[in-house]
């Protein structure tokens, strides 16, 4: 038979252990209840699994489900991954951030270029080359001056001028890339979303600018009259409108302008003489 003293000691130890476990459980339970009352029950929320760029397509490889106490849920949070399938980020989203409704959008009529145009203005597209548009480093949201090479008589330098036609003009888009919106091609063919990296799409041959109706008419006239258009990039905070005059060959030549004027006067004299005969 065992020692009664040892049996009592064991029984006492077991009781103490059970009481300790009960007290620990009660404490944990009370703390949990306190936290639930303070922060609310955990709820599922969709979070970014990786960094998501602006205008990037979101699918299930870029998001995951986590649980957050109700108090820490952001307004407009999404609860199911299905809610973000084939949506597009309207702003950059960092890994671990909650996905909320205002931060994503579906392709549709309200996400096109028209929403970017100021009331009373018009969008007009210009065909450009790298040499005409600052090496194609212009991006949506930039502001530019528009210049035109105007020839009164083709091939005659003395009858050509460069004129700054418009100043402080907003760039609405470069090619299909639109500020804070979806490229127009995406709105027409949803499958294009998966084929294009919308955030870095820079292979463009047109820029779309925001003009007044009268300015649109001026640009159409210049382009159809054969004038070559050039864009110069300006600081977005620079709103100064310069009082510029046209530039002609004599302005470029400077101190040699008199010689050039004499040359062109002599060149045109025989033509005048023949016209008077």
Question: DSSP H helical segments within the chain, as ranges?
Answer: 4-39, 184-188, 192-195, 213-224, 249-253, 257-276
254-266 burial code (b ≥16 CB/10 A, e <16): eeeeeebeeebee
Residue 67: phi and psi, rounded to 5, are -110, 135
Contacts of 187 (CB under 8 A, 6+ apart): 107, 108, 109, 111, 112
Domain boundaries, the chain: 42-105, 111-258
CA distance 144 to 169: 5
Mean pLDDT for 127-148 is 88
pLDDT value, residue 109: 47
CA distance 8 to 50: 60
Q: Is the dihedral of CA 88, 92, 98, 101 positive or negative?
A: negative
Most confident of 20-24, 35-39, 184-188: 20-24
The CATH T-level fold of domain 42-105 is Type Iii Antifreeze Protein Isoform Hplc 12 (3.90.1210)
CA distance 163 to 170: 19
Instruction: Express each pLDDT in 196-206 by its tens digit.
Output: 444 444 568 88
With a threshold of 0.85, does the pTM exceed it? no
């Amino acid at each position: 038979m065992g020692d009664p003293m040892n049996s009592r000691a064991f029984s006492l130890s077991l009781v103490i252990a059970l009481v300790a476990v009960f007290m620990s459980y009660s404490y944990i339970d009370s703390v949990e209840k306190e936290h639930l009352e303070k922060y609310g029950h955990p709820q599922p929320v969709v979070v970014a699994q990786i960094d998501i760029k602006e205008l990037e397509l979101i699918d299930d490889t870029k998001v995951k489900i986590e649980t957050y106490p109700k108090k820490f849920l952001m307004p407009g949070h999404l609860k199911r991954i299905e809610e973000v399938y084939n949506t597009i980020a309207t702003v950059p989203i960092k890994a671990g951030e909650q996905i909320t409704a205002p931060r994503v959008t579906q392709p549709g009529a309200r996400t096109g270029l028209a929403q970017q145009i100021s009331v009373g203005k018009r969008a007009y597209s210009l065909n450009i080359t790298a040499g005409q548009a600052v090496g194609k480093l212009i991006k949506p949201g930039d502001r530019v001056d528009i210049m035109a090479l105007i020839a009164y008589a083709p091939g005659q330098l003395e009858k050509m001028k460069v004129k700054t036609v418009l100043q402080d003009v907003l760039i609405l888009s470069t090619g299909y890339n639109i500020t804070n919106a979806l490229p127009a091609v995406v709105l027409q063919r949803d499958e294009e979303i998966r084929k294009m990296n919308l955030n870095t799409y820079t292979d463009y041959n047109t820029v779309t600018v925001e003009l007044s109706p009268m300015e649109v008419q001026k640009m159409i006239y210049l382009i159809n009259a054969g004038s070559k258009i050039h864009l110069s990039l300006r600081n977005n905070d620079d709103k100064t409108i310069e009082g510029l005059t046209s530039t002609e060959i004599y302005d470029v030549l400077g101190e040699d302008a008199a010689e050039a004027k004499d040359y062109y006067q002599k060149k045109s004299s025989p033509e005048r003489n023949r016209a008077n005969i």
